[in-house]
Amino acid sequence: MNFTNGIALDGPAGAGKSTIAKIIAKRLGLPYLDTGAMYRAMALCALSEGVSLTDAEKVDELLNRTDIRVLYEADGQHMLINGTDVTGRLREEEIGKGASLISKLRCVRDKLAGMQRQIAHETHAVLDGREIGTFVIPETPYKFFVTATAEERAMRRVRQLEEKGEKPDYELILKDIIARDYQDSHRDYAPLKQAEDAVLIDTTHMTIDEAVETVLQALEAR
């Protein structure tokens, strides 16, 4: 199979798309690009420089003087900001919220989407994100929208945190998930949205293996 323009997996936070995308990439021998990590790195950069995540002018100026790089090491994707590897800090809850905010800005989206487009075209990678199929590589015929109910996504997050020894509050997590979904799907520019020609994968009652098989079968059928 030839995935010239890349493979797009979009969907809300916690639907399982990054797990599925990583397995698909491995099975097909292609790179995997976590586009959320790029928004998270930019949010971290703005926060550490004291730049407001909603100030378009200041963020644009920050973008112009910041060197953002995606590197692939043996253990996967790394994000470098001005030569410093910031990968270890990107999964923090506050950085996720910051990424959702900063991603509303057109200047951020244009810059990062441009880098993502180039990586997709050069490496035929599997990209996971929010608007990959509608905005970053709409030309690819290989598009998936991976979702699950907010309640199921909250339960999964609770289980993940419990495994780490934490005592999470389900209601609070559910509220955060609903707020993030709303913010990601109601921004003016390139919101989270299922592409018309994307295959819908609802993982609410599916195992990861079942979801992976569904994606692989759909790829073969296209």
Residue 143 engages ligand DC in binding (rule: CB under 6 A): no
C-alpha 160/C-alpha 155 separation (Å) is 9
Among 41, 59, 63, 100, which residue sits at the site for ligand DC (rule: CB under 6 A)? 100
Among 25, 40, 117, 195, which residue sits at the site for ligand DC (rule: CB under 6 A)? 40
- Whichever of 1 and 172 has its CB closer to ligand DC, that residue is 172
Query: What stretches of the chain adopt beta strand conformation (E)?
Result: 7-10, 32-34, 68-73, 76-81, 84-85, 126-129, 143-147, 199-202
Minimum CB–partner distance for residue 220 and ligand DC (Å):
25
Among 51, 58, 96, 156, which residue sits at the site for ligand DC (rule: CB under 6 A)? 96
User: Of the listed pieces 32-40, 141-149, 167-175, 197-205, which binds ligand DC according to CB under 6 A?
Assistant: 32-40
Residues in contact with ligand DC, shown as a per-residue x/- string from 168 to 197 under the rule CB under 6 A: ------------x---x-------------
Residue 35 engages ligand DC in binding (rule: CB under 6 A): yes
- The footprint of ligand DC on this chain (CB under 6 A) covers a number of residues equal to 15
Q: Three-state SS string across 51-104, please? A: CCCCCHHHHHHHHHCCCEEEEEECCEEEEEECCEECHHHCCCHHHHHHHHHHCC
Query: Which residue in this structure is represented by tokens 């979702």?
Result: 147
Strand, coil or helix: 8 = strand
Sign of CA dihedral 183, 132, 96, 188: negative
C-alpha 180/C-alpha 182 separation (Å) is 5
For the beta carbon of residue 63, count every other beta carbon within 10 angstroms. Answer: 19
User: Of the listed pieces 22-30, 130-138, 159-167, 197-205, which binds ligand DC according to CB under 6 A?
Assistant: 130-138
Minimum CB–partner distance for residue 221 and ligand DC (Å):
25
Residues that bind ligand DC (CB under 6 A): 13, 35-36, 39-40, 96, 99-100, 103, 129-132, 180, 184
